[in-house]
Amino acid sequence: MRWLVALVALVALPAAAETPDGVARRYALAGEVLVAKGDRVVLHRAYGTVDPQGGTPHRTGERWRLASITKQVTAALLVKAMVASGDTLDSPAVVVTPSASSGPGSADGSGREDVLTVRQLLTHHTGYANPDATPADRSGVPAFYKGTTPDIGYCLSAPARPGAAFAYNNCDYVLAGIALSVGDDGPRPVAWPRGLAMAGVGEKGGPGFVAGKPEPAFELAAWGTAGGLVGTARAVFDFDRSLMTGKLLPPAALAELWKPEGKGSYQALGAWVFPGQLKGCTSPKRIVQRDGEIWGVQVRNFILPGDDTVVIVFTNRSADDFAMGEVWQGKGFTYDLLSAAACP
């Protein structure tokens, strides 16, 4: 009977908790995952092959297009600039004119001036023209994303409506970037966090795939400060840590950056901040999430401030090929990945 007692004891043991590495393997991720606790990286691994058909494997340290993680970085740097200048996010501190040469804060004498607050730009309450509405080519790429630089003139082709209803729009962050690149003394270079850089002409940070085929042609540089950064997972982690440790922003400014706008919206500045119930945790976790997708590449950047935890995911498969899922759904890849990282 000894074997029966041993068998009963074995069955009674709790199942081992799944690890983030196990989640990535189970979902057959093609890309890269970085998980960190404090300053310690506990997982940094690449999975699958670059091409869905096989061949070259993904490797850690690849330079990825950051897509809308760029917005998260742009928002943080703009808040930092506002702190340095003594301005507030809600003062009429940003003036954009139809003339690119005149820049913010000046009038070109030839037409309209639009006065908005920084908060309205960073939370998509502007009413500006949307790049996604420009005519698309045969492959479905809007004309805005075929240019080698952001088309500021198009962004300004519709008058601003300060305080307009939320409408997600890359032009808002393209124009927010002007406030970063022009100071009281004229144009100034943007000091991007170490390891991150704006894409040059023709640079995409690696190939992406849509429905198993190479993605269509576009210019990543056309996204500018709305989505044009390239960098490594480690560089994104360093940026996250600079926020979490107070190196980039003082506590009050970080609180503003991560404060949801309310009224049923979890949108903060450049990210979404919400309570997420994860598998294996007794209470919700505060999650700072920035997601993005540009054709064949998807990105996720999660910061869990209360747990001193960061989870970063890159894949060069579109949403048609790899479903990231959402925490609020209580299932799927990102739900299982965050649960494994924060609720072991």
Angle between helices 69-85 and 233-244 in degrees, nearest 10: 40
Structure confidence by residue, pLDDT tens digits, 95-135: 555 544 333 333 344 456 678 889 999 999 999 999 999 99
Domain ranges for the chain, please list them: 17-342
CA 18 to chain CA centroid, nearest Å: 26
Structure confidence by residue, pLDDT tens digits, 327-336: 999 999 999 9
Distance CA 135, CA 154 (A): 12
Structure confidence by residue, pLDDT tens digits, 287-304: 999 999 999 999 999 999
Band the pLDDT of 66: cuts 50, 70, 90: very high
Band the pLDDT of 2: cuts 50, 70, 90: low
Band the pLDDT of 178: cuts 50, 70, 90: confident
* pLDDT: which is higher, 79 or 11: 79
- Flag whether pLDDT at 8 surpasses 50: no
Mean pLDDT of 162-166: 93
- Flag whether pLDDT at 164 surpasses 90: yes
pLDDT at 277: 97
Q: Return the CATH number of the domain spanning residue range 17-342.
A: 3.40.710.10
pLDDT at 186: 62
Mean pLDDT of 225-247: 98
Judge contact between 49 and 59, C-beta under 8 A.
Answer: no
pLDDT at 110: 46
